[in-house]
Chains A and B, each alone.
Chain A
Amino acid sequence: MKVRVRDLAVSYGDLDVLSGMSLDVAAGELVSIVGPSGCGKSTLFGALAGIAGEDGATVTGTVEVDGGPVRGAPFGLMPQQDLLFPWRTVLDNTTLGLEVAGTSRREARARAQALFEPFGLAGFEQARPGELSGGMRQRAALLRTVVGGREVLLLDEPFGALDALTRTAMQEWLESVRDRYGWTTLLITHDVREAAFLSDRVLVLSPRPATVRREIAVDLPRPRTRAVLTDPRLAAVEAELLDTLRA
């Protein structure tokens, strides 16, 4: 297993946010996490990325990557907002993680630049984030997340703020690049169709304190295209997810 989480519990004082959370993610797999609002999905990502403790949370349990304790920083977090900074060009926004890690600006730019074409951002390197469309901003934020070469991507509702049409286009695009680069990905979403379309497996969380209530496998061939959207098997997964969430 690429990622193995056992009995993860996070609490803020008396407030238990996660309790006894266990999950596995295989290399190259995309696992979605759905659950009621405020159940602690983002807290799970914070705990995995190692930043929950600094917020005053108590974190217990084990997280293993490649069968051993977490070494270095294997998780790349893409937060809900794109958080592109207006004082940096699009290119320099995408290199932020590399710069923080001590990579020279020149090398960081070269590495990020190579991804602008597949991410549909070619020609916008020197633009300011404000000049980008919503979909482009999300692609730039994802580029910033993946360019550091982190082994596991944590995508927190990456398309939540987009309009329906752009969101569908972005889901198809993510499926195509994911297939090309083979990222190991955990994805938080509110959208059961998005979860069914993109995932190998979907984990449904319980209300707070959250734990994995149900795991649903999505047995559809990859790479998935728009045609999958009308596949009855996809509709069946969606229905099952909705039933579980409402139960």
Chain B
Amino acid sequence: MSPVSTRSPVRTASAVSTRSAVSPAAPAPGRTTLLRRLAPAVLVVAALLTLWQAAVTLTGVRPQVLPSPLRVLEQGWAFRGALWDNALPTIQVTAIGFAVSLTVAWAIAIAVDFSPWLRRALTPLLVASQTLPVMAIAPLLIIWFGFGLLPKVLVIALVTFFPVAVGLIEGFAATDRSATALLRSMGASRLQQFRYVRLPGALPSFFTALRVAITYAVTGAIFAEYVGARAGLGIFMQLQKNQFRTDLVLAAVAVTAVLSIALFGLTYAVQRLVTPWYRGDHR
């Protein structure tokens, strides 16, 4: 037997015992499992950063071309005030844009679920909305609606509402036919079928779609700002790039990444609250 195969049952056993110890009263073991789950990602990122740092040091490439990660960190910290001032409008526009997107996606998905006519009418439009080249549309939105909130909200909504709407529509439609038959045999109205089966059944599919969409949301906001804005990480990157401050561009990129990952993680937290029953199947 190889050492790996002899060790793995032990590891499984310890993981099980840790999991069974997880309870609201004992947060410490929960933190251990979280750490254990994050460890591989942290290791890989650390390795990549080390490699990057070594490459920059060894080749002596100019920082305007490629700054070292330590320089990015150092300059990012030095300009933390500016980064924060520009991150806030980005967060704000992302939140508003995503809220609009979610509202529209839910409204359309529910309408489509109740009306086969609307499904046929709207599906091509939904697909078309996703094939619009945002690169071309975003500058037009700025021309039409100026440098305020509206064009950015529209860009975010445009890039994020499609995955959410499709996730919901397919989640509703994936309802087991026999579950529908059971509800109908109980005399359930279409609204009751939706409330008791289609809606809760679609939630896992919704959260999967939400995770895809939320990563688009931040990049959508950055892109919209890149095209034209008074403040925000997008316009910040644009300005720093023009001044050959590659390090600050990358610092802003890092902030964007952290923001996206935080929002991504937030979806899991919300999902646990909304669909606690799904947790068991999820692991």
Choose one: A75, A96, A128, A148; the contact of B277 (CB below 8 Å).
A128
Choose one: A50, A75, A83; the contact of B182 (CB below 8 Å).
A83
- Known A85-B200, A87-B200: A100·B183 in contact at CB below 8 Å: yes
Chain A residue nearest to B179 in the complex (CB): A83
Q: By the criterion of a CB under 8 Å from any partner CB, how many residues of chain B are at the interface? A: 22
Q: Are B181 and A96 neighbours in the complex by a CB distance under 8 Å? A: no
- Complex: A129 Cα to B200 Cα, angstroms: 15
Q: Are B187 and A100 neighbours in the complex by a CB distance under 8 Å? A: yes
Interface centre among A46, A51, A80, A148, by most chain B C-beta atoms within 10 angstroms, is A51
- Tally inter-chain residue pairs, CB-CB below 8 A: 59
Across the interface, which residues of A come within 8 angstroms of B201, CB to CB?
Answer: 85, 87
Chain A residue nearest to B193 in the complex (CB): A100
Across the interface, which residues of B come within 8 angstroms of A100, CB to CB?
Answer: 183, 186-188, 192, 196
- Complex: A128 Cα to B278 Cα, angstroms: 10
B178 within 8 Å of A by Cβ?
yes
A114 within 8 Å of B by Cβ?
no
- Known A100-B196, A128-B277: A79·B181 in contact at CB below 8 Å: yes
Q: By the criterion of a CB under 8 Å from any partner CB, how many residues of chain A are at the interface? A: 25
- Complex: A87 Cα to B274 Cα, angstroms: 10
A130 within 8 Å of B by Cβ?
yes
Q: Are B186 and A97 neighbours in the complex by a CB distance under 8 Å? A: yes
Interface centre among A55, A77, A83, A87, by most chain B C-beta atoms within 10 angstroms, is A87
Q: Which chain A residues (87-101) contact chain B, with CB distance < 8 Å?
A: 87, 96-97, 99-101
A81 within 8 Å of B by Cβ?
yes
Q: Are A83 and B185 neighbours in the complex by a CB distance under 8 Å? A: no
Q: Are B277 and A87 neighbours in the complex by a CB distance under 8 Å? A: yes
- Complex: A26 Cα to B203 Cα, angstroms: 45
Shortest C-beta distance, B62 to chain A (Å), equals: 58
Choose one: A50, A54, A75, A87; the contact of B275 (CB below 8 Å).
A87
Shortest C-beta distance, B102 to chain A (Å), equals: 21
Q: Which chain A residues (198-244) contact chain B, with CB distance < 8 Å?
A: none
B197 within 8 Å of A by Cβ?
yes
- Complex: A80 Cα to B179 Cα, angstroms: 11
The interface of chain B, by Cβ under 8 A from chain A, is 176, 178-179, 181-188, 192, 196-197, 200-201, 203, 275, 277-278, 280-281
- Starting from the known contacts A77-B182, A79-B182, 7 additional A-B residue pairs (CB-CB under 8 Å) come to A46-B181, A49-B185, A73-B187, A77-B185, A81-B176, A83-B176, A83-B179
A-B contact pairs, 9 of them (CB 8 A): A49-B184, A75-B185, A77-B182, A81-B178, A87-B201, A96-B186, A101-B186, A128-B280, A130-B281
